[in-house]
């Protein structure tokens, strides 16, 4: 399964060129360094998905959709989001499909969360689903690389529910180069500050909205626009 459509892939590749010497405000990294790191993460992510044959497994449950930073080509952390649109949310089928991965030598953790009906943490049909989180260890067996824990977040959604993640992904893929670079700069600055990521203060969607909808171009802009 291709991560992006051919037209989207061409567009995203074009975004990885431009002024390689521009320095990212508040982080010290050049834009070139941010893009190199993003590409490295994408390549590692592709290898992990192939190693797990994850798309092939998930296709037996529903229609697999690529969402989040990996789908948009805007990665800053070893984290992949995947959606599966299901005609019916069948927890037994979902678990039967994914539990064999627990025996994979690089899978350290697997957990499921039920976000259906009264168990939903957030209201709204777009937030209903079943979540599976995987932790994949890269760099084992003396491969010469530092051990890294990759987070794979898989959401099984009702096929008929609205999917704002897909809309956001498509907006990011079509965004001009300066907006895409702004996303990477802000993410990098927030990561260095220790406030970006799951279960922390700032999330990817917060950065995307600040850049696309409110014109943020730096961490300073982000702070100003998102201040209480």
Residue 1 lies in a domain: no
CB-count exposure of residue 172 (10 Å: 0-12, 13-18, 19+) = buried
Q: CATH number of the domain that 161 lies in? A: 3.30.460
For 182-196, the pLDDT digits (tens) are: 999 999 999 999 999
For 90-146, the pLDDT digits (tens) are: 999 999 999 999 999 999 999 999 999 999 999 999 999 999 999 999 986 655 557
DSSP label of 120: -
Q: Angle at CA 81, nearest 5°, toward 35 and 93?
A: 155
Residue 86 lies in a domain: yes
Residues 140, 105: Cα–Cα separation, whole Å: 10
Residues 104, 126: Cα–Cα separation, whole Å: 31
Tokens of 112: 């499921």
In this model, does residue 214 exceed pLDDT 70? yes
Instruction: Return the percentage of the chain with pLDDT > 90, whole number.
Output: 79
Residue 129 lies in a domain: yes
List strands edge to edge, sheet with 63-67: 63-67, 79-86, 148-158, 129-138, 107-115
Residue 120 lies in a domain: yes
For 135-170, the pLDDT digits (tens) are: 999 986 655 557 899 999 999 999 999 999 999 999
CB-count exposure of residue 142 (10 Å: 0-12, 13-18, 19+) = exposed
Residue 200 lies in a domain: yes
C-alpha dihedral (45, 59, 52, 147), degrees to nearest 10: 40
**145 contact partners, CB below 8 Å, separation of at least 6:** 138, 139
Tally the domains of the chain.
Answer: 1
Banded model confidence at residue 28, pLDDT cuts 50, 70, 90: low
Domain that holds residue 110: 25-226
Residue 15 lies in a domain: no
pTM confidence score: 0.84
Strands (E) across 22-118 are located at 63-67, 79-86, 107-115
In this model, does residue 17 exceed pLDDT 50? no
Residue 55 lies in a domain: yes
Instruction: Return the percentage of the chain with pLDDT > 70, whole number.
Output: 84
Residue 6 lies in a domain: no
Q: 210 to each of 23, 80, 207, 215, 225, how far by Cα in Å? A: 20, 21, 5, 6, 7
């Amino acid at each position: 399964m291709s991560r992006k459509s051919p037209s989207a892939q061409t567009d995203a590749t074009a975004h990885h060129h431009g002024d390689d010497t521009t320095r990212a405000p508040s982080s010290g990294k050049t834009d070139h360094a941010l893009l190199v790191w993003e590409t490295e993460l994408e390549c590692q992510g592709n290898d992990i998905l192939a190693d797990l044959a994850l798309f092939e497994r998930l296709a037996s449950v529903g229609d697999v959709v690529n969402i989040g930073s990996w789908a948009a080509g805007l990665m800053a952390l070893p984290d992949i989001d995947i959606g599966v649109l299901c005609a019916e949310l069948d927890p037994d089928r979902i678990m039967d499909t994914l539990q064999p991965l627990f025996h994979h030598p690089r899978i350290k953790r697997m957990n499921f969360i039920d976000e259906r009906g009264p168990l939903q943490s957030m209201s709204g049909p777009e937030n209903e689903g079943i979540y599976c989180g995987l932790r994949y260890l890269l760099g084992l067996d003396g491969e010469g690389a530092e051990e890294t824990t990759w987070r794979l977040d898989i959401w099984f959604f009702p096929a008929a529910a609205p999917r704002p993640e897909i809309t956001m992904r498509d907006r990011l893929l079509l965004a001009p180069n300066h907006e895409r670079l702004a996303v990477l700069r802000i993410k990098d600055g927030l990561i260095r500050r220790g406030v970006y990521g799951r279960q922390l203060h700032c999330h990817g969607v917060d950065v995307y909205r600040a850049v696309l909808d409110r014109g943020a171009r730096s961490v300073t802009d982000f702070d100003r626009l998102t201040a209480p």
